[in-house]
Chains A and B, each alone.
Chain A
Amino acid sequence: MNKSFAELKKKSILYLPVAAVAVLLLLILWLLMFVYLYDIPLYDAAGAASFRIFYIVLCCLAGFLAALFFHERSYAAFFVSLGICLLLVQGLILLGYRFEGMAGVGEGEEIERLDVISKGFWAEIPRIPLRLISVSTGDKGQSESCNVVLDGRAVEIEKGRDLVWAGMRIRMEGVRIAPLFILRNLAGEELEAGYIKLDWAAPVKPFFQFSILPHRFFVSLPDAPKERWMRSGKGWRPVDAQQDLGHRHEGKASFPSELERLHIMIMRGKLTILNKIVNKGERVEFDGHRLEFRNGAPWAIFVVKRVQSYYVFFAGVVLIIVGAVVKAIGWRKA
């Protein structure tokens, strides 16, 4: 029994590192190929199921080898294996627990729920106890800012500046105006109304819907750039440079302090029911209903990102250095 265990241990120490190197090379090749050759985002490439499984297999191999080396009293190899295991675990933590989300919050409102921008496979959507008290729209040459109560503490946040709370980085991306849309029937009775938080700077025209109607209300500023295509020879070409839809349209047009006119397009299925510029207070009719918009209320966009710690990484590096030192001392003694 002891002989077979010793034999198994000897073979494991010989062949497991080979298997670990094979897995490591595969994972590196996978990332190089998909991220650099085929422009797939790193998190998508590393989020693939087979990548994750074999990454965890590699962590386990490194940990198992560390235990074997410790049992064999090969302390240099033990420290190095354990250090490598910790580096891999750090990678898993970065991948698995990363989180980025955003929320639109009006004055007097709290962050109810974050919309996920990207999330690791183990990350949960965090609860941020933030209430927006007031907003400064940056009209008189000042930067946009807001006053919030975060976890019971009053704080002022300027646009683009980070606030760190409980391992989360909170940034106020900008202030917008949410127009008040009122839906009425033809008799003039109010059916539904609400402040609609529309991100004018979003690369795609925003839309909203009332709960009682199937119609989509596409709303934009009258001078906002539109996606347009024109014939060009036998093909087509986009008319404006802004049609690279990955970009946000920042600038003065993205945030007017007063909303006097809006371009409203109402669609139901494939049908365009209305497509015109509407003045504030003007009532427009569509499909047996009337719509108008009035002065809006300011709201702020918050982006929340998890701050990752690197303690495990540094611990891994220290252990590898310790392993190298132990090995050097061993050589010297020999």
Chain B
Amino acid sequence: MSDSMRNILIAFLIPVIVFLISAFVLDKDMVRYPFVSSAKGMEREKSAVIEAVRMYNKILTDFYSSGGKPALLNEFPATKAIKHGVFRDLGFITTMKRVLVYDMADMMPVDVRITSFNTAQAVVFEEWNYVYQRIEDRMPVSALKGLGQGFRYWLARQGGTWIVTGWTPVEVEEPEDKGFLF
């Protein structure tokens, strides 16, 4: 290969290499999307979305059961607006001198969609048990009750992880009666 041909090849390859490096560093989520779009990748991503929703509900349970202790606030996979909403509710319950203890009995994924390289939606059916307790001595002041509700969650990828950006209630046919769930 002559010198000039080699130099032309170098002049061509340098921008390509620099572009690829910058794309992997600056646009990680978009660059990984073609790999995620395979059937196996999509399943893995959907599992990650469901896991984010599970973590969201798990930490939510902790916030309510502790009466609003923010120990896991940084791990809570939600936007600032949602976090504010949760703590507004906790503040409301505290003004009633109560603690609301939630326990998630079951969560069933209904429909999970990766809508783009950094957004997803998940419809889930959640079954919860809950009881109100007195704030002073944690004695129950209500009967233990159960609820079943469908939710649609919107999620976005931030910093490589899925976080909840919004939710709305949806109607989901209740699965077969499994009896009272602890």
Question: Taking beta carbons and an 8 Å cutoff, which residues of A are in contact with B?
Answer: 11, 14-16, 18-19, 21-23, 26, 30, 33-34, 37-41, 44-45, 48-51, 53-54, 57, 204-205, 207, 213-214, 218, 226-231, 236, 238, 245, 265, 267-272
B66 on interface, CB distance cutoff 8 Å = no
> B-side interface residues toward A, CB under 8 Å?
4, 7-8, 11-16, 19, 22-23, 26-27, 30, 33-34, 37, 60, 64, 85-86, 88-89, 91-92, 100, 102, 110-111, 116-117, 121, 123, 126, 128, 130, 147, 149-150, 152, 168-173, 175
Please give, as numbers and ranges, the residues of chain B lying within 8 Å of A236 by CB-CB distance.
110-111, 123, 172
Given A18-B8, A48-B30, A50-B26, 16 more pairs with CB closer than 8 A: A11-B7, A14-B4, A18-B11, A18-B12, A21-B12, A22-B11, A44-B30, A50-B22, A54-B22, A227-B171, A229-B111, A229-B170, A236-B110, A236-B123, A238-B111, A265-B169
Residues of chain A with a CB closer than 8 A to B23's CB: 30, 48, 50
Residues of B within 8 A of A54 (CB): 15, 19, 22
Complex CA gap A21/B11 in Å reads 10
Residue of chain B at shortest CB distance from A230:
B173
Q: Separation in Å of the A84 CB from the closest CB of chain B?
A: 17
Does more than half of chain A's interface fall in helix, strand or loop, or is it mixed?
A: mixed
A26 to B150, CA, bound (A): 45
**Of the residues B89, B149, B150, B171, contact of A214 by C-beta under 8 Å:** B89
Chain A contacts for B123, CB-based, 8 A:
229, 236
- Contact indicator B15/A26 (Cβ below 8 Å): yes
In chain A, what residue has the closest Cβ to B9?
A18
Q: What separation, in Å, do the CA atoms of A15 and B15 have in the docked complex?
A: 12
Q: Say how far B118's CB is from chain A's closest CB, in angstroms.
A: 8
CB-CB under 8 A from A226, the residues of chain B are: 170-171
Q: How far is the CB of B106 from chain A (nearest CB, A)?
A: 13
Given A48-B27, A214-B85, A214-B88, is A15 in contact with B7 using a C-beta cutoff of 8 Å? yes
CA distance A11 to B12 in the complex (A): 14
Q: Are B89 and A38 in contact (CB under 8 A)?
A: no
Known contacts A48-B27, A214-B85, A270-B126, A19 near B12 by CB under 8 Å? yes
- Quote the shortest CB–CB distance from B144 to chain A (angstroms): 14
Name the CB-closest residue of B to A52: B26
Q: Cβ of B33: which chain A residues have Cβ within 8 Å of it?
A: 34, 38, 40
Question: Which residues of chain A come closer than 8 Å to B175, judged between CB atoms?
Answer: 231
Please tell me if the beta carbons of A23 and B34 are within 8 angstroms of each other in the complex.
no
Complex CA–CA separation, A16 to B149 (angstroms):
62
Whole-angstrom distance between the alpha carbons of A53 and B18 in the complex? 11
Can you name 8 A-B pairs with beta carbons within 8 Å? A16-B11, A19-B15, A38-B34, A38-B117, A44-B30, A51-B27, A213-B92, A214-B89
A210 to chain B, nearest CB (A): 11
Whether A49 pairs with B26 at a CB distance below 8 angstroms is: yes
A12 CB, nearest partner CB in chain B, Å: 10
- Which residues of the partner chain A approach B37 to less than 8 Å between Cβ atoms? 38
Given contacts A45-B30, A48-B27, A50-B26, contact A218 B173 (CB under 8 A): no
Q: How far is the CA of A144 from the CA of B113 in the complex (A)?
A: 37
Given contacts A40-B117, A228-B171, A269-B100, contact A50 B89 (CB under 8 A): no
A149 CB to nearest B CB, Å: 34
B15 touches A23 (CB 8 A): yes
Residues A272 and B7 in contact, CB atoms below 8 Å apart: no
Are B171 and A205 in contact (CB-based, < 8 A)?
no
Shortest distance in angstroms between B174's beta carbon and chain A's nearest beta carbon? 9
**Contacting residues, chain B, for A19 (C-beta < 8 A):** 11-12, 14-15
User: Which of A21, A40, A57, A204 lies in contact with B30, CB distance below 8 A?
Assistant: A40
